Copies of this chain bind each other. A is one copy, B any other.
Amino acid sequence: MGNIKIAIFGHGNIGGGVSRILLDDTHSLSRKTGKNITLSAICTPKPQEDAQIYKSHPELFRDADDILSDPEISIICETIGGDTVALDLVKKALQQKKHVVTANKKMIARHFTQLHNLAKKNGVFLLYEAAVGGGIPMLQVAQSGLAGDSITEVEGILNGTTNFILTKMEETNAEFNDVLVQAQELGYAEADPTDDVEGFDAAYKLSILVALTLGVHISPKKIPTQGITSLRQADFKYAKTLGKKIKLVASAKKIDNQVFARVCPVLFPIESRIAKTDGVINAVNFIGKYNTVGNFLSGEGAGRFPTAAAIISDIVLIARGGVPLSPETKEIKNILPASQSWYLRFSVYDRPGIVGEIATIFGKYNISIDAVHQIDHQESPAHFMVTTFPVSQEIFKKALKEISLLGCNTEAPFVMPLREEGSFLDL
């Protein structure tokens, strides 16, 4: 039975969970892999603060250079986060011909090609199951479980913080800012929630999913991303009358040599599996050439032990051998859907004739309106909503620009796509 020695860099919530599992489940891990998998080192700036583990295993705490130059350590587990210190460490580890396992979505999404090339050049593996979907094995399903299929479309709820906020807004009639405070108090949102609520976190994860499923790397900054901060109770009320729910959805589809990828709030049919995914739960649906209904996965997208267990599953994969080949990705054009239906909310000073003005502009661009709805007549500014039939992206943008210039708007019109039952992304 061979030996595999692991070093963990960063020993906070996730790293601490990884060391706990490695120490507790030694027997079960060797039964699963036929190897002795042992925790050999921990690198953290203040080891003394890890009271419990430092007391029982002080010898594990070593400095970075010592660990990186130790030929016996074959897997580096990076749980520092971010793409400064962590990136530097991961590069060094790969150059030292050590496998790297990480939960760091920002680093992987931003430096995907560079890091994979480095791993390939040094003949080692770079795995990051925990970076996307937390405890849900999205990457293994995409790369191994569905390896007999060719995935053509992927969409999901990849951020638990925003899904929790949307669910609460729907249930309690509270506005975004109030629910955000509540989420922060419960520990579901960070003090600086920008990455979550603006959709950036979901975009990092989508970038990784797209690379592994569609074979295309799109830098997260090239993914059109809209967060949830502009949503209002008015939107949730009207969604209900439409039989829809609002979800922050990351989606991507490949057609020939073009790819479409986007993160934004979407109105989903209430009966769809995505719409039924509530609270902090994450979910993803993989649609393939052969699984046209999709393979749908949902579970805990974050949390100490689900995430740490995902990191361990990567270690098991390396110990067993048979890691999927490094993805061959190419850079291709990121496009927008050719045509789709839209939901628009206008916040206006309620004066007669506004609906007519807006409808006239839509008419001029030959955009068919499905419905116009006004709620909260008493309020000023008043909200009214318009839903359209499918319209080409280009024409819709022009009409929207012209409408935005009307003096009646108190703020920029809020728009989000409207999905029909059963349809996916019609390009």
Contact = CB atoms under 8 A, between A and B. Distances in A.
A interface majority secondary structure: mixed
A259 to B, nearest CB: 17
Contact of A308 (B28, B273, B290, B295): B290
A95 interface: no
A141 to B, nearest CB: 6
Give how many copies assemble into the complex: 2
Nearest to A135: B291
Interface stretch (A224-232, A313-321, A333-341): A313-321
The CB with the most chain B CB atoms within 10 A, among A21, A149, A296, A312, is that of: A149
B325 A322 contact: no
B290 A135 contact: yes
A323 B322 contact: yes
Given A290-B21, A291-B135, A295-B137, A145 B148 contact: no
Nearest to A312: B148
A420 interface: no
Interface string A284-300: 00001111011111111
A32 B129 CA distance: 18
A82 interface: no
A325 B315 CA distance: 15
Interface string A19-56: 00100010010011110000000000000000000000
> Closest 7 A-B residue pairs measured CB to CB?
A322-B322, A137-B145, A148-B312, A148-B313, A148-B309, A290-B305, A147-B316
Interface of A: 21, 25, 28, 31-34, 129, 135-137, 140-141, 144-150, 273, 276, 281, 288-291, 293-300, 305-306, 308-317, 320-325, 328
